[in-house]
Amino acid sequence: MQVEVSGEVLAGLVGRYFLGAEIPAVESWRSPLEEMHARMLTGNLETKGYWTDLYRARRDTAAVLNTGMADDLERVIGELSSSEEENLALIMFQGSGFGYMTWVSQDFSFVVSCIRVSDKRIRK
C-alpha cells in the first residue's frame, strides 16, 4: 500500500533516530533532508517480513558481488527484525548523488532503520 509523509515530518523522525543510533551519519543526511523539507514523500507499507526477506536477498547479492554494502544491509536487517512493528513503511528519496531509504513505523511516530546508498544511476 502506498503511503505519504511530509519531508518535514521525516526529517524530524530521522533526527531523533540518529540521536539514539550508533551511526555517525547524521551530517550526510542533513542537506538532502533539508531539500525534502517542503515536499510530500511517498513510500510503501509492507509487512516486516516482506522487508527483511527482500533485504536479506539484497545483502546476499551484495556479499557475492563484494559491493561493500553487506555490512550496512546486515545492520538494517537486524533493526527491522528486532522491531515490534508488524508493518513498516519504506520512504525513499534521492539527493546529493545518493539514495536514502528510511523505514518508519506505520503511524509515522519513529524510524526503525535507515541507510544511505551510493547509486551509479543517480550519481552526478
Which of residues 85 and 39 earns the better pLDDT score? 85
Q: Which pLDDT band holds residue 35 (cuts at 50, 70, 90)?
A: confident
Domain edges within the chain: 2-51+87-118
pLDDT score for 123: 46
Quote the cell numbers at residue 79. Answer: 533493526
Q: Which of 23-32, 61-70, 94-103 has the lowest mean pLDDT?
A: 23-32
- Determine contact, residues 51/90, Cβ cutoff 8 Å: yes
pTM for the full predicted model: 0.87
Contacts of 30 (CB under 8 A, 6+ apart): none
Where are the extended beta strands (E) located within the chain? Answer: 2-6, 40-47, 87-95, 98-105, 111-118
Quote the cell numbers at residue 78. Answer: 537486524
How far is 67 from 65, CA to CA, in rounded Å? Answer: 5
